[in-house]
Chains A and B, each alone.
Chain A
Amino acid sequence: MVSVPPEERSRTVRIVHWRSMVLGAALSVAAAGSLQAQGSPPAFGQQNLDFGLVLPGLPTSISPTDRGRAGQFEIRGTRQSEVRIDLTLPTAMLSPLGDRLPLQFAAADGAYSTRPSFGSASTWDPRTPLVTRLSNSGRLYVWLGGTAAPSGAQPPGMYRGAITMTVVYTGNE
């Protein structure tokens, strides 16, 4: 056991306090840097889900494989990270006058791939969350089909509805 003079003990405490402040600052910077990379995988809407001209009384379906008309998203993030994707799907499109055009989504209306081509895509039910991984280059491509079901008395005109994708990192390795 070593006895330390009071003045010496006091100096030791000050040193510890100073070191802890430096350590704290260093960890805060590391955490901030990590948050930028991990917190929010950028997502982009690449193409609207476009039903084109639909006819009263006749449902119109768009396949997720329809390159020209399926909705498309792209996610760019940390390579091979696991992400969770949730789509907020409208039950109807609306006209400027407030008329509703029912919109339906089925189990095979969603597709995703780590490649931009649909050939390697897997299907999923877009009404449920999708948990998958980004590619080696940090990319994921998502396609969305659906069915517009106008009534026989559907008023003519343009209809529109918002489809929102929310993406988060799951944090899983």
Chain B
Amino acid sequence: MKKALSLLGTSLLVAGALTVVPSSAQSQVTIDAIAEVAQQLTVNAGSDLDFGLVIPTFTKTVAVTDATAGTFDLSGGIGAEVQMDFTLPANLDNGGLLLPIGTWTGVHNAVNDPVAGATPFDPTAQAITNLSGAGLLYIFLGATVDATLQSNPGIYTGIISLTAAYTGN
């Protein structure tokens, strides 16, 4: 009888041990990976930098606050940091006749205003700043053209390019 009890007890213990670790004995929990992708950065050319009529032997300056200042605007991710690189002509050109450009000036602003809240920067170097809370940035460019050595009349032009990119910050 004792042997019978012992065998029975052993078989029940083994059965119990197998029941303790069923394959479904697991916990599962889930979290999310989340991200918000910002708008792609876009650069729009605004107004040309227009010196108007330049008198030979004189210099002429267009300030960033002038109505004829050159303008660009950027749009993209809210508050995203961007770097801006300008390609600036050293001269305006008229069929090989050159009109040198002296000083460059620039300001950027979160709103379309070259004065209130605007930040000066040097367009001849890389500029880094942040887009506004609306994902916008406005650029205003000025410069001085030097006609002291150029007396040939005509239309002189040059190209100003702006390349902008997210820094990732």
Contact = CB atoms under 8 A, between A and B. Distances in A.
Interface in B68-115: 76-80
A169 B30 contact: no
16 contacts: A24-B12, A27-B9, A27-B16, A31-B16, A35-B22, A42-B27, A44-B29, A101-B35, A148-B33, A154-B40, A156-B38, A160-B32, A161-B32, A167-B29, A168-B25, A171-B21
B51 interface: no
Residue among B20, B30, B33, B34 facing the most chain A CB atoms (10 A cut-off): B33
A146 interface: yes
B33 A161 contact: yes
Contact of A27 (B5, B13, B33, B40): B13
B37 A155 contact: yes
Place the interface of chain A in its size category. 35 or more
B34 A159 contact: yes
A12 interface: yes
Given A58-B168, A166-B28, A20 B34 contact: no
B16 A53 contact: no
A46 B29 CA distance: 10
Contacts, number: 176
Given A31-B19, A34-B16, A48 B27 contact: no
Given A12-B1, A49-B31, A167-B28, 13 more contacts: A35-B25, A40-B26, A43-B29, A48-B34, A49-B33, A55-B76, A72-B31, A73-B29, A148-B33, A148-B35, A160-B32, A161-B33, A168-B25
Contacts of A51: 33-36
Name B's interface SS. Answer: mixed
A16 B3 CA distance: 11
Contacts of B27: 40-43, 75, 165-168
Contacts of A148: 33, 35
Interface in B38-82: 38-41, 76-80
Interface in A137-161: 146, 148, 150, 152-161
B116 interface: no
